[in-house]
A and B are shown apart, each in its own frame.
Chain A
Amino acid sequence: MGARKTKKPILRLRAAAVFAAALAFVSPSLLHPGPAGATATVAGTVISNTATATFSDANSVGYASQSNTVSLTVWNAPALTNLNSTAQNVAPTDFVVTGPFTLTNTGNGTGYFALTQDAQFTGTVGASNVTLKGYVIVGGSTCTTGALCTEAQLNSALDSGSYATTAPNGTVQIEAEYQVASAPSVTSGTIVTTLTATVTYPATGAATQETSVASSAAETDTLAPDARLDLQKSVVAPASSSSNLVWTIKVNDGGGFPARDLTTVKTLLGASAAGIFITDKVPTFSGSALALVSAPSVSCYSGDTCTVYYSTNGTSWSATQNLSASYIGVFVYGDGPGSNVELPSAPSGSTGAGNVTTPQITITLTTVQPAGNLSANSNSVSNIANSVIGGNKDANLNVPVIGPTITVGTYDSSSPTLTGVFNNTTASSGTTPPGGASNIVYTQAYPIYSVLNGPYGVPGATGNYTGGTPVDNMHDFTEYGFLCSQTPTSTGTCSATGSIVIPMSIQNTGNIDDTFYPINDTGSVSGWTVNYYVATACSGGGSTFPTNCTQGAAITSSTPVSILSGATVNYEAVYTATAVSAFVPQTWQITVKGVSGSETNDTYDVLYPGGALKISKSVAATATNCPSVSSGTEPANGSTSGVCPGGVMTYTLSYQNLAPAGLAPSGAALGTEPAFATNAVLISSALLTEDGGASCSSGCTTYTNNWATNTFGLNAAPVDSNYGTYTTFTYFNGSAFAIGTYPGITAGYTKFTAALNATGTTNTGKVVAGQSGNITFTVTVR
């Protein structure tokens, strides 16, 4: 029983049973042997002394004499030595057996031992963190319960049987057991156990009264943390978009005791797998594990063997290489510094999770970079190695050493609680591990900056504002015509009524968040201003020009708009036009720039002052019906200045889409432009109203539209130069048009509306940019 150990009570019971069995074959005298070697003079011994002398007289006659006798009686002199062996390291929750404290009757009589009081606990850990469990006599009797004795029970045992007459030099060994609190108020320090005992000699012989003497001995134990696997994980950020990510996990037992194998590991890797298992979830991005580039490499602890395992689900493991695995693990086995010990205590090598200065094991795994939106954002990939499974210092207890909050048998986690750095402060208790998680590490893909800028909703449109074949997303465009506040003329100026709002979109197509701002790359244009704002809640888009956007914050180079990787933000260019040239389209190059990566992309806004459709009207007498005159000049056919009753006048209504034809591509030339981008100048729903009896409407200075008054009305259906004879008109009486010729008719329709149909398809009122045409109709003068 000389070896120090710690054990749980159940083990104590088992040991006690063994000792009890052995006791039957051991003589009590062997348990506390009698005098051996130098022995004190037994109490009651009478020491007598008489001196003698010889001498002679002058004649050399010899004589002798003798003194009186001096007698002294040796009395009871109880003496006790109390010794114990070396100190030991203890951990929270440990049941610690101190001693054995060896009590030796070093006096000169027989007597019995007794504790003067319970074992006293001092030291820096403090008595409040220690609980006395009891005592045993080493190799001797146990208490009636077969377990630890109380002080009273121990003293009773020491004062009975052969123990009661322990001879000089006889010894008794006593062990005291205490338990360290599961969560002591201090994590380290000393626990001093002091045991004070007496040896008592009964009154006997010359000794007329019982005498005793006390002696104390102390054992100083050191509270140390249990086995604790500290991990430090690190990763090197990629140096280029083609480089890989290299993850390193350093492992060290930073606790005060060796880390051992654990039964739980066997349930994962097989019954024969006695060792420590260090697992790591392969870092993921967007829910997918980054592919391993090669098998992880391991620098194993000297004397151990390390084997790499792979798993796709964390529960089934195989040593067969699988670079698509979601989990990797390193099984550490071997005797290491001792049987069933994989890693010795090396507290100088680490101080906790994320702080391993001298690793015992180093694991390196290489993965590809994450890819896609957000992948280059800082810390887009986070990872910890927190599933360390091993046994604590006591193989019998089979207490796992894994990361806090990690249940045995699980590996890594995306739990939101796994943030920050774990502190390995969780004490070992039962199945509660004492720690072992690593720090959390972050990295990201190499940044790729990219942006698209284009029409609303289609930032990557591939149109070509020049009308040419689209080749990229740098020439897309949005065309828009606007009305002037005054009646425009081809040579006049135009001022827009209010602002001209062109919604557009920016998409961050890089793999990293950035901020962006648009600029006008066209330069200053007289009469024009342009500013940019965040636009939200727009209506329309697609085939309908987006309108009614909610204007947000201004976007400038100093106040760029933040756009997440892959996200799109709508913005609007707000133009003002004051005294600009009417009917002169203005093309704006709008360049969006990224702040961090200086990425750019262009789009174009083409604005048409004065509206897109220009109309004009003319009339000529196709048949003047004037009689011949003898003198002067009578109107001839084709006259634009005169006509006679019965003459036929032909009115021509000319229309023109002022947008240059090249800015309204169609078909393949349209690219991926949204419909509204060209519909802005593809005149749609253009209704021409010809009202022969109308008064001047707004903007007119005079009105002379009285042809209906002096004619019989329309002679026939109007004819569109692009479409031909209209078959569908809207006449204001809603009836079919009666076609006739003077004087066969007495009256015809005097007004109509016709949807311009320059596209030549159906009567949808569309006129493509740059296209012109006219509508003609004839009337007969009354």
Chain B
Amino acid sequence: MLMKPFLDMQFGERIITLMAALVLVLQIAVVAQRWIVTHIRIFAIQSFLLAMIAATIAWFNHAPHIYIAAGMTLVVKVILVPIFLERLVVRMEIREEIKPIINVPLSVMISGGLTLLGYVVAESFFKPDEPGLGHNELAVAISLFLIGFFTMINRRKALTQVLALLSLENGLFLAAISLTYGMPLIVELGILFDVLVAAMVLGILVYRIRETFESMDVSLLRRLRG
């Protein structure tokens, strides 16, 4: 009897919606906080939730190949990339807070607006008569994507931009899961490999920028014009 809810699809969908909502809350928390280490940890938790969503879908749909994608996400985006980035932060001895261009309360409001926009866009994909996840997940995915863009514009520090880029990718992962239960496995692996390499390449680049300019402020990068 104890197993019964774990076989019921409805129950599964509710868990997934809950986790997707948490992912969204975390994304807005990113906008609200000011420390780079917190940002990295939030990214790790977010990725962990995404891996759990993927695993839940694999469980309720009996699709073993999604487990592999979930496991790889866990290894790459929850363990390897955050560890690499945190080490980078330690090595670069970043202690200062990040000052966003737009102040925090307004940023949070803008993120709320972007979430609304995400729901509007997701509406057009929602077909009630078809199997597939509800449009909640897709709306969250699109909101992640949009808020990721916003973070990128709003915080002109090199490492935050890298993290924003990674959260764009998280949004896409969620979109893929909610639209089609994930991309084909080979594509998923290709994407994760690229994410890992991209985090390293960009991390090294950030390190060298910090060494050269003694700052991570990308608005200092303006020598090349015309």
The answer on A and B forming one complex is no
